Amino acid sequence: MKEIRLSFMIYLYEWSSAVYARVFKWKKHAWGISKGEFASYAPGTLGKALAEFYASNGFEVMPKLENHDVFHVLTQTGTTIQDEIAMQYLLLGNGKLSLYLFAMISIGTMLYPEHCAHFQACFRKGRRCQPFYQLEFLHLLDCPLETLQMILINKSEIVHI
């Protein structure tokens, strides 16, 4: 049963990511940055951390969905199917509301009820963070990752813009 639900969720995630980018992100522009270009950012920056994220996970850049990868880097959330569901809970806690998010949470919770405590913890983590889900991180790739995490994730510093 575990293999069936995992296979189903992987298929659903891969299919829905492409549909999500095409249907819900049709106005959004892809960053147009390759994995190699991310690698050219200075050590310790968000851009370099993204390069390391792509390399360590064997991922390619998904046009129009780059911010999602930033969420993984910022929040230090893994990339298993359960982690992807947990990320949606974190984003819900952070204030994001979307049909895709609710669909992933609903299906994921039904298929992985044994992870509900972890999902709830991620929701609470999202509530503790500064709202970041709506930020366009393209313009922050040169920023130190630790600084962004301190400001957005840990809320240890209040920033007035």
- Per-residue pLDDT of 13-35, as tens digits, reads 777 776 766 666 667 788 999 99
Structural domain count, the chain: 1
pLDDT of residue 117: 97
Euclidean distance between CA atoms 77 and 95, whole angstroms: 17
Q: Is residue 84 part of a domain?
A: yes
State which residues of the chain have pLDDT below 50.
157-161
Which structural domain range is residue 39 located in? Answer: 2-15+31-153
In a domain, 159, yes or no: no
For residue 5, what pLDDT is reported? 80
For helices 81-93 and 116-128, angle between their N-to-C axes, nearest 10 degrees: 40
Q: Which of 36, 59, 63, 58 is nearest to 47 (CA)?
A: 36
Residue 126 lies in a domain: yes
Per-residue model confidence (pLDDT) at position 158: 43
> With contact defined as beta carbons under 8 Å apart, do 111 and 5 qualify?
yes
Sequence letter at residue 34:
S
Position 25 in a domain: no
Residue 58, domain member (yes or no): yes
Q: Return d(Cα 10, Cα 23) in angstroms, integer.
A: 20
